[in-house]
A and B are shown apart, each in its own frame.
Chain A
Amino acid sequence: NAGVTQTPKFQVLKTGQSMTLQCAQDMNHNSMYWYRQDPGMGLRLIYYSASEGTTDKGEVPNGYNVSRLNKREFSLRLESAAPSQTSVYFCAEGAGREAFFGQGTRLTVV
């Protein structure tokens, strides 16, 4: 029972490249979230999904897209990476109140 699994753990991209961060949960919960964490900024919500088939913007959605493929999986896509997207990305899941986090993906855009 892994909870939330994120892949990859580390990634280096060149400016303009695209990539998809994968997230899967095995808790059978409806809500899933993508956050980014930058020094001194706390966790900022990028997108969230209240249930399969629904997604909504958070605080900082620009430059990102998401897909809630099914109840288990919620992916985050960067279509054209920029250095400002260098960050640690966390996926989380929950039953609608609190959230439980994956181990994070450290992304560097050069």
Chain B
Amino acid sequence: QKEVEQNSGPLSVPEGAIASLNCTYSDRGSQSFFWYRQYSGKSPELIMSIYSNGDKEDGRFTAQLNKASQYVSLLIRDSQPSDSATYLCAVNIWGKKGSTLGRLYFGRGTQLTVWP
């Protein structure tokens, strides 16, 4: 089992709808959580980071974190065709006790298509 799991896609939503992307992680000690967007043939681009339980909003994007459930989600409101991409969840995994720096692990990604 991977350290970071994402809900299998692909996900297809109409323009203007809310897209919901989910992610779970295995290490209870993780403190840092990220969402990346990757367009086909391009490199991943950081779009959201979240460190505390609750919601964090940035424009049309909302990241949600629940450390007790080891669950991170990304909501995209008013989805646009330009949001069509693969979304990657990333978690800073600390692993063994005494580690001073985490390793950044990624899920397999969820491909989102927003149709007009």
Interface residues on B, range: 20 to 34
- Chain A residues packing against B (C-beta within 8 Å): 31, 33, 35, 40-45, 48, 50, 56, 58-59, 90, 92, 94, 96-104
**B15 CB, min distance to chain A CBs, angstroms:** 27
Q: Is B72 at the interface (CB under 8 A from chain A)?
A: no
5 chain-A/chain-B pairs, Cβ below 8 angstroms:
A42-B108, A45-B105, A90-B44, A98-B34, A103-B43
Residue of A whose beta carbon sits closest to that of B44 = A101
Given contacts A42-B107, A97-B92, A101-B45, 20 further A-B contacts (CB under 8 A): A33-B104, A42-B6, A42-B106, A43-B44, A43-B106, A44-B106, A45-B106, A50-B101, A56-B103, A59-B105, A90-B43, A90-B44, A96-B102, A97-B32, A99-B46, A100-B46, A101-B44, A102-B43, A103-B42, A104-B43
CB atoms of A45 and B103 under 8 A apart: yes
User: What chain B residues lie within 8 Å of A42 (beta carbons)?
Assistant: 6, 88, 106-109
Residues of A within 8 A of B106 (CB): 35, 42-45
A99 touches B104 (CB 8 A): yes
At the interface, is chain B mostly helix, strand, loop or mixed? strand
A50 touches B32 (CB 8 A): no
In the complex, number of A-B residue pairs with CB atoms less than 8 Å apart: 56
Q: How far is the CA of A105 from the CA of B94 in the complex (A)?
A: 28
Q: Hey, which bits of chain B sit against chain A, CB under 8 A?
A: 6, 32, 34, 42-46, 49, 88, 90, 92, 100-109
**Chain B residues whose C-beta falls within 8 Å of the C-beta of A102 in the assembled complex:** 43
Of B42, B44, B104, B106, most A-chain CB atoms within 10 Å = B104
> Which residues from chain B contact A31 at a C-beta distance below 8 Å?
101
* Cross-chain contact A98 with B104 (CB below 8 angstroms): yes
B108 to A41, Cβ gap below 8 A?
Answer: yes
C-alpha spacing A101/B106, complex, angstroms: 13
